[in-house]
Amino acid sequence: MKSDKDKATVEVEFAGQKVLVPAGGYYDRYRSNPDLDEVAKDPAAGNIDFFRRIPKTMVESRIGPTWAPNFYYRTSNVQALMLAPMKKLRAILPRELEPLRVLPGYGLVALTFFSYALCDNDPYNEVSVAVVVRRPDARGPHSLELLDSLKRKSFHAHVLALPVDTEIARVRGVYGYQLPKWLTKIELDISSGGVSAHIATTDGRPDVSLTAPVPKLRRIPSQSSLSTNTSIGLVDGKWLQTQFVSNPLELAQTTFPKGVELAFADGPISQLLRGLGVGKILRLDVVKDAQMVLYLPRPLGRFQAS
């Protein structure tokens, strides 16, 4: 059996860069504009009716005309939502953004490990560190906004780090979205034996590890619990928002989880989380199976950088 390193690759041009992708993979065949009837024949894709209601269009972007949105047919993730001092969050955020306060003096930092087993850009893993922020048009108490966000399953965040483990994912994020992406080794495994997630430094040393028992997972009907989250950031000096819609299929959510071990080393993610002063894990989300749609950035309109 061939290892991943032995699999055939083909060179493609993306955002003016030459990158290697799996030969015969989704990007090699479809260039981000898949034939959903063909995707439906792939046993690994499962039921893809969710994507048939979302048309792809050729749109202008900072990397030229491209097909959007991007489809993620089979994904999984684990997220630790942690308390962090408002003082530290305000110090690291752009002045135009305000952390969403959940307790007196504390906001939220989300550490998320993603695994995209099947998507338009071929399989890859990703780690996100993001601060939950107030909506740009928000008014009134933070507590009411928090309750509203929970009810609508819709949060806004500012991404501080987003490393990946394939070159096309890095190039797409850096040139298409101007996100803080770099290439490194990332692993995520969700099995009956537990959750195991790891990210390394660029030279292979340990950075952050997360292990936890798997909460009781539940299977839910497709499109019964859609969530829409929005990343806010500066792109070419202008404030843009990027939305992604998640369609979870098998998941678990635990408040004040027990048995979660979060280990830091000396890598950039560890240093970032220490600098943010992250503390108690308020919630652990384990999503073993989900579908996702990622849109291109669009103007925010609420404010512009000075």
Strand 194-200 and strand 186-191: the pairing is antiparallel
Dihedral angle over CA of 48, 49, 53, 54, nearest 10: -10
| Residue 142 in tokens | 């933070």
Q: Write the CATH number for 107.
A: 2.40.400.10
**Domain contains 232:** yes
106 found inside a domain: yes
Q: How many domains are contained in the chain?
A: 1
What is the per-residue pLDDT for 305?
45
pLDDT reported for residue 1: 32
132: number of Cβ within 10 Å: 22
Domain ranges, residue 240: 11-299
Give the list of residues 6+ apart from residue 304 with CB closer than 8 angstroms, or none. Answer: 238, 239
What is the model's pLDDT at position 150? 85
**Does residue 192 fall inside a structural domain?**
yes
304 lies in a domain?
A: no
Q: Identify the pLDDT of residue 138.
A: 82
**Does residue 2 sit within a domain?**
no
Can you list the residues of the chain whose pLDDT is less than 50?
A: 1-5, 305-306
In a domain, residue 157? The reply is: yes
Q: What is the pLDDT of residue 303?
A: 59
Residue 306 lies in a domain: no
pLDDT in tens, 110-146: 999 999 999 999 999 999 999 999 998 888 899 989 8
User: Going along the chain, which residue ranges are E strands?
Assistant: 9-14, 17-22, 57-59, 66-68, 70-85, 106-119, 124-133, 156-161, 186-191, 194-200, 206-212, 218-219, 227-235, 238-255, 261-264, 281-294, 298-299
What's the predicted TM-score (pTM) here? Answer: 0.95
Work out the mean pLDDT of the chain and round it to a whole number: 93
The pLDDT value given to residue 14: 85
The reply to whether 269 falls in a domain is yes
CB 109 within 8 A of CB 89: yes
Distance of CA 156 to the CA centre of its chain: 13
**pLDDT of amino acid 51:** 98
